[in-house]
Every structure is written in structure tokens, then in C-alpha cells.
């Protein structure tokens, strides 16, 4: 099932052919607040999806829905308590970052060549119809701002110290994530948390529909040129390992987002670029970039 949030924070189910969307807000047993700051309904849905699934399915099958292009798709998550992101989780990306750091500076090798997790500000999330806005400070200083296209997952049932062999039971579903990053010196939590730096979308495909998450092609292109192209079989630490490691540190709450790490091929984004990202079985998302003009 493809779960979307659209228009005034309504819950929708996208048809298997991705052409239509059906409003299933009425299937929620609690009030659905159209104010995103009252949106604990989404977190409760993530927690209770197993029990609510059949109601949502029957509501989705009750009507023809509307053409998908007639609605405003928002980011397919609301108010996650945190965005966890993985560092150094594709060997070829770790290798390419040595060159990037020689060019733009930043933290040394020891700090960034081993798998770990860090946090991004949830306020950096945008949906597929919004734009990444390049911050004037880093842009005017000539600092590189990079795209990282990543498999993202959304936590369903929360938990602490989740065992690897139960970890996938805690995944509600998967979506496309972009981890936009200012390169260079300074703390990573600041460099990756500028407003608009975490596009997510176009919807959450539930885990049952995705099957094995380590068989997905990730592709990002700009202006027709493929920048990143990889299969998630190349993930260093697989998703159960990511969940076990993270939940051994911080409790994972329903609705939390985990970005599983950047594959190789990261590179600069500039004003007027359109990042075209596709992940098999999860859909395609086009996100535009706005900001300082490219001097070159």
C-alpha cells in the first residue's frame, strides 16, 4: 500500500499504477487535524498501522479516487521525533569522500570512514512539490552543497534495543530521501539541517509491498545526467543492523525517519537544477533547487 499525505494534511492511498489517489482520512479512528502541529494522528497511524490496515484498505477500495496530479503531495511523514541518518554506509561513497575532503576541507578521515548514525533536524523536511533552497551564507562563500539520494524508512512500532532478527517488524515502510549537505568544515548536524534540506516522498510504500529492501535500485539524475546509480544490496550495514544499532542508543518512536546512507556519486547542486530520483518499487520524485546563481 502506498500511503500519502496531501492537500490539507489528508491521508491518501495511491493506486498501484500511481495514477490516482483516494482520500482515506475517514478510516482514522481519531480526529485528523489539518494543522500539521496537531498531527499526532500520523504518529498514531504509524504505531497502529497493523490494526488499522483493513479499515484503510476498505476505504481505499470504496471509491475511484482522484487523479494524482490534481492533489498537492506533501512529505509523507508528519512530525517525526527525529531523523536518523547513516554515515559511511556504502564503501564506494566512503572512497569518493576522500577526494571531496581534499577539495573542500572538513573533518578528517578517522571521523568519517566508519559507519555511524547522526541526527538531522526534522524541520528540514519538505515534500516532493517543494524546492530545496540553497542558504545564502554557504552559497555566497562558494561552499559546495551536495545531493545525497538515499533509501529512507519510516518506523512503525517503536522500541529500544531492538534485536536484528525482529528489526524489520518495526518498519512501516520506505520512501525516497534526499540528504542535502553543505560540505566542508563545521558540525554535520548544522551542515545537513538547513531548512528544506530533507526532501522526502512521494509516498510511503508499506514494507509488505516492498519485500526485501536490499534489492532496490536507487538512481538520481540532474538534467538527464545520471549522478548516482546503485543497488541497496551494496549497503554496508543492512537495515536490521541500522535499526539494532540506532535503537541501542536512542529509542525509536513511531514515525521516526531513518536515512540509510548515501551511495557514491554525490555532487554539487545549483540554482534551477531539478533532482530526479527514483527508487524501484517506491516511485519517482522530482525536487527543484532554488538559490544563488552559479557563477561558473
* Residues near Mn ion, by CB under 5 A: 148, 179, 262
Give least dist CB 219 to Mn ion, A: 16
Nearer to Mn ion, 65 or 213 (CB): 213
Task: Give the integer Cα–Cα distance in Å for 57 and 64.
Answer: 13
Give least dist CB 125 to Mn ion, A: 14
Give least dist CB 191 to Mn ion, A: 11
Nearer to Mn ion, 119 or 250 (CB): 119
Give least dist CB 54 to Mn ion, A: 36
Residue nearest to Mn ion according to CB distances in the complex: 179
Task: Give the integer Cα–Cα distance in Å for 8 and 6.
Answer: 6
Beta bridge partners of 247: none
User: For residue 79, what are the contacts with CB-CB under 8 A and spacing of at least 6?
Assistant: 36, 37, 39, 40, 42, 43, 122, 255
Nearer to Mn ion, 258 or 262 (CB): 262
Nearer to Mn ion, 4 or 237 (CB): 237
Nearer to Mn ion, 155 or 262 (CB): 262
Q: Look at the alpha carbons of 158, 162, 164, 169 in this order and tell me if their dihedral is positive or negative.
A: negative
User: For residue 247, what are the contacts with CB-CB under 8 A and spacing of at least 6?
Assistant: 159, 160, 161, 162, 167, 170
DSSP category for residue 98? H
Closest CA to 243 of 228, 225, 232, 259: 259
Nearer to Mn ion, 94 or 222 (CB): 94
Task: Give the integer Cα–Cα distance in Å for 254 and 171.
Answer: 9
Question: H helices of the chain, where?
Answer: 40-60, 91-104, 109-112, 136-140, 164-167, 188-191, 207-210, 239-247
Give least dist CB 198 to Mn ion, A: 10
Give least dist CB 277 to Mn ion, A: 13
Give least dist CB 236 to Mn ion, A: 13
Nearer to Mn ion, 36 or 107 (CB): 107
Apex 252 CA angle, 32 and 202, nearest 5? 55
What 3-state DSSP class applies to 246?
helix
* Residues constituting the chain: 296
Amino acid at each position: 500500500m502506498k500511503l500519502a499525505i496531501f492537500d490539507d494534511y489528508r491521508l491518501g492511498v495511491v493506486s498501484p499504477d500511481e495514477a490516482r489517489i483516494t482520500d482515506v482520512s475517514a478510516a482514522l479512528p481519531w480526529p485528523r487535524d489539518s494543522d500539521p502541529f496537531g498531527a499526532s494522528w500520523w504518529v498514531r497511524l504509524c504505531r497502529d498501522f497493523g490494526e488499522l490496515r483493513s479499515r484503510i484498505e476498505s476505504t481505499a477500495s470504496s471509491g475511484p479516487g482522484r487523479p494524482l496530479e490534481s492533489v498537492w503531495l506533501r512529505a509523507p511523514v508528519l512530525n517525526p521525533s527525529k531523523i536518523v541518518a547513516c554515515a559511511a554506509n556504502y564503501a564506494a561513497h566512503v572512497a569518493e569522500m576522500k577526494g571531496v575532503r581534499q577539495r573542500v576541507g572538513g573533518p578528517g578521515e578517522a571521523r568519517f570512514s566508519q559507519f555511524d548514525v547522526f541526527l538531522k533536524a526534522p524541520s528540514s523536511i519538505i515534500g516532493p512539490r517543494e524546492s530545496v533552497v540553497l542558504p545564502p551564507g554557504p552559497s555566497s562563500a562558494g561552499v559546495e552543497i551536495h545531493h545525497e539520494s538515499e533509501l529512507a524508512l519510516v518506523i512503525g512500532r517503536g522500541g529500544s534495543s531492538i534485536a536484528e532478527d525482529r528489526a524489520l517488524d518495526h518498519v512501516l515502510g520506505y520512501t525516497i530521501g534526499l540528504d542535502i549537505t553543505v560540505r566542508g568544515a563545521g558540525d554535520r548536524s548544522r551542515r545537513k539541517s538547513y531548512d528544506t534540506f530533507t526532501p522526502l516522498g512521494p509516498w510511503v510504500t508499506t514494507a509488505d509491498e516492498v519485500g526485501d529492501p536490499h534489492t532496490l535500485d536507487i538512481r538520481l539524475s540532474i538534467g538527464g545526467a545520471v549522478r548516482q546509480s546503485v543497488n541497496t544490496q551494496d549497503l554496508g550495514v543492512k537495515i536490521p543492523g541500522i535499526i539494532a544499532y540506532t535503537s541501542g542508543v536512542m529509542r525509536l518512536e513511531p514515525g521516526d525517519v531513518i536515512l540509510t546512507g548515501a551511495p557514491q556519486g554525490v555532487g554539487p547542486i545549483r540554482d534551477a537544477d531539478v533532482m530526479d530520483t527514483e527508487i524501484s518499487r517506491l516511485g519517482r520524485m522530482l525536487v527543484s533547487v532554488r538559490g544563488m546563481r552559479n557563477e561558473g
